[in-house]
Amino acid sequence: MRYKPEHKQATRDRIVAAAGRLFRRQGYQGTGVDAIMSEAGLTPGGFYAHFASKEALLLETLSRCLGERAASISQAVASDDPFTAMIQRYLCALHRDDPGTGCPLPNLAAEISRLTPGARGKFTAALEHYLADVQSLMPGVSPSKRRERAIATLSTLMGAMTLARAVSDKALSEEIFESVRHALLPAQKARPMSPTTARKKPRRR
């Protein structure tokens, strides 16, 4: 063996990371294998030594992205109001204008619905893990009520982000955030983060 065993794994990780950025920015169909390999600093030919197909890469990318978000949420539980904190971080201009990091659902969920049932099954498993972690920071008494609220909150957040990115009017985009904050949070917590506050508490990656 003339390469250390972790060498190929590191390259594979770079490809998944590159795909994570491009798929979330441009969508699945909008991103070519060539572009992903180029983003990873590689040439296109090597792709199939790492993945069976572009679709297989998408599923691995989704699992990783959702897993990373779940992990960052779990760590936010340490905050004194993790539910409000999560919503404020989700519904902000930084998240809207940089889809390459952040939640993969707004830009990819619709394309997932057109994949084969098997592929959608892998996505479903990753989504369940994510949901379990959102549920864990949900206020509420019974686990079933918290799961219910986690599902509804995630639906609302991803729908709002999708709309906010689609409209051309920045004011309407902010109004979408504001309306959803009011719907999800008690009145006194629904203030948007000021740029100053956002700078003091930068988003961990």
Partner DNA sequence: TGTACATCAGTGAACGCGCGTTCACTGATGTAC
Residues of this chain that bind DNA (CB under 7 A) = 1-4, 7-8, 11, 31-35, 37, 42-50, 53-55
The answer to whether the CB of 178 falls within 8 A of the CB of 192 is: yes
* Alpha helices by DSSP H, 27-167: 33-39, 54-76, 82-90, 93-97, 105-112, 117-136, 143-166
Residue 189 binds a copy of itself, judged by CB under 8 A: no
Contacts (Cβ under 8 Å, ≥6 apart) of 21: 39, 100, 101
Shortest Å distance, C-beta 24 to DNA: 15
- State how far the Cα of 160 lies from the Cα of 150, in Å rounded to an integer: 15
If one asks whether residue 154 binds a copy of itself (CB under 8 A), the answer comes out as yes
Is residue 87 within 8 A of residue 192, CB to CB? The reply is: no
How long, in residues, is the chain?
A: 205
169 near a copy of itself, judged by CB under 8 A: yes
Shortest distance (Å) from residue 64 CB to DNA: 18
- Nearest CA to 112 out of 158, 148, 160 is that of 158
Give which of DNA, a copy of itself, none residue 182 binds (C-beta under 5 to 8 Å, depending on kind).
a copy of itself
Least Å from the CB of residue 121 to a copy of itself: 4
Does residue number 174 form part of the binding site for a copy of itself (CB under 8 A)? no
Under rule CB under 8 A, residue 114 binds a copy of itself: yes
The residue ranges that bind a copy of itself (CB under 8 A) are: 26-27, 29-30, 105-114, 117-118, 120-121, 123-124, 127-128, 147-149, 151-160, 162-163, 165-169, 172, 175-176, 178-180, 182-184
